[in-house]
């Protein structure tokens, strides 16, 4: 295709669970300079909601199967990129000049980058762009303390993007900045709240160095930082699992709000992420809800239902918390009918994530 670059940059948007990747992506995609962007979304969990929460669906947006890019979806990533390239060449989809991959909040970015290098077709048409890692100013310190994935994401990034500085306390923020500078002194440390932020400039530019990671002559990255290897060979923390609760019929908002607040108050340490699209009593439009550990974000109305499915779907990513307990307490609190579908455990798409 005439206007497509010889090597299309593939940018990676990473960052721990709930740290604001989709929010940033949504903002980026409204930038006129970034109009020609293909988006690949990968989510940890049975049911992906991010493509709905992004509220942009077209043929240059690809949802990668559930499972984690760094563990089980790498072949699919390569296939998706090859397919996008081939359809662009044949003029079947709008031209795109860059790719952005939004990874799961638990992804290790390194294998994603090496997928580009390993594939004989991809390396002739794509090149690495930038790795942008969002870091939650409220929960980031605890996540760095607890989850190796969070450290890997921050260590490999070209740009560290602090989010939620508007609701974080100053003292904690200073400590987090210091820690991030120590972890990755070469990355630009930015904030989504910065009015001067050059959003378009976050992408594409190939960078000469990437922290302590060596760059091969072909421009791809060939070493993983040894200091961040996990004892179990690099898979996710042992007890992290995800499940979805799907609920028929409208939910009472007050009861739901009390339940969620109590849940996160009591078990916030272990609820790494909760997000959902809710059908609420008295509301024509769906409402998106987000929680990250102890933090409940204000709910937002979505523009419209993304499909004919009018059920509420609530996705949980938990660390060592029993799905059936959550289901029972949800039913008791909200007096909702039985939760119609409850996926738990470790399905084949994410076998690398062990259940305890």
Ligand X SMILES: Nc1nc2c(ncn2[C@@H]2O[C@H](COP(=O)(O)OP(=O)(O)OP(=O)(O)O)[C@@H](O)[C@H]2O)c(=O)[nH]1
Question: Residue numbers of the site for ligand X (CB under 6 A)?
Answer: 15, 17-23, 50, 105, 134, 163-164, 166-167, 192, 273, 275, 290, 297
**In the complex, what is the shortest distance from the CB of residue 335 to ligand X, in angstroms, rounded to a whole number?**
26
Q: Which residue lies nearer to ligand X by CB, 50 or 119? A: 50
Give the relative orientation of helices 323-334 and 253-267 as an angle to the nearest 10 degrees: 140
Nearest to 274 by CA among 14, 25, 13, 17: 17
Neighbours of 278 (CB within 10 A): 21
Q: Which residue lies nearer to ligand X by CB, 30 or 218? A: 30
- Round to whole Å and give the CA distance between 201 and 185: 20
**In the complex, what is the shortest distance from the CB of residue 25 to ligand X, in angstroms, rounded to a whole number?**
7
Q: Which residue lies nearer to ligand X by CB, 9 or 18? A: 18
**In the complex, what is the shortest distance from the CB of residue 103 to ligand X, in angstroms, rounded to a whole number?**
9
**In the complex, what is the shortest distance from the CB of residue 7 to ligand X, in angstroms, rounded to a whole number?**
27
**In the complex, what is the shortest distance from the CB of residue 347 to ligand X, in angstroms, rounded to a whole number?**
18
**In the complex, what is the shortest distance from the CB of residue 288 to ligand X, in angstroms, rounded to a whole number?**
7
- Round to whole Å and give the CA distance between 228 and 107: 14
Nearest to 236 by CA among 75, 355, 66: 355
Q: Helix %, strand %, coil % for the chain, to 5?
A: 30, 25, 45
Nearest to 39 by CA among 53, 152, 300, 349: 53
Are 102 and 22 within 8 A, CB to CB? yes
């Amino acid at each position: 295709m005439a206007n497509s670059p010889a090597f299309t940059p593939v940018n990676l948007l990473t960052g721990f669970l709930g740290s604001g990747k989709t929010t940033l992506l949504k903002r980026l995609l409204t930038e006129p300079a970034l109009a020609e962007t293909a988006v690949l979304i990968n989510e940890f969990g049975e049911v992906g909601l991010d493509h709905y929460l992004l509220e942009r669906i077209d043929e240059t947006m690809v949802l990668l199967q559930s499972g984690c890019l760094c563990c089980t979806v790498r072949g699919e990533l390569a296939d998706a990129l090859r397919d996008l390239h081939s359809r662009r060449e044949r003029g079947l989809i709008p031209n795109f000049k860059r790719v952005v991959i939004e990874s799961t909040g638990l992804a290790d970015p390194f294998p994603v980058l090496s997928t580009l290098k390993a594939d004989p077709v991809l390396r002739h048409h794509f090149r690495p762009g930038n790795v942008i890692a969002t870091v939650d100013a409220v929960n980031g310190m605890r996540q760095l303390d607890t989850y190796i994935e969070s450290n890997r994401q921050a260590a490999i990034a070209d740009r560290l993007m602090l989010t939620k500085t508007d609701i974080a306390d100053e003292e904690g923020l200073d400590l987090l900045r210091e820690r991030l500078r120590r972890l990755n002194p070469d990355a630009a440390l930015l904030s989504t709240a910065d009015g001067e932020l050059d959003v378009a400039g976050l992408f594409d530019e190939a960078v000469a160095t990437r922290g302590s990671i060596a760059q091969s002559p072909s421009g791809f990255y060939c070493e993983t930082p040894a200091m961040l290897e996990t004892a179990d060979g690099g898979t996710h923390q042992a007890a992290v699992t995800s499940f979805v609760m799907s609920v028929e019929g409208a939910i009472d908002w007050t009861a739901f709000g009390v339940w969620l607040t109590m849940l996160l108050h009591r078990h916030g340490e272990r609820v790494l992420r909760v997000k959902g699209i809710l059908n609420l009593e008295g509301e024509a439009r769906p409402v998106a809800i987000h929680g990250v550990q102890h933090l409940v974000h204000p709910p937002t109305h979505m523009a419209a239902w993304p499909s004919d499915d009018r059920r509420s779907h609530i996705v949980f990513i938990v660390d060592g918390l029993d799905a059936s307990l959550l289901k029972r307490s949800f039913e008791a609190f909200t007096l909702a009918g039985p939760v119609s579908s409850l996926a738990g455990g470790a399905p084949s798409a994410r076998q690398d994530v062990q259940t305890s």
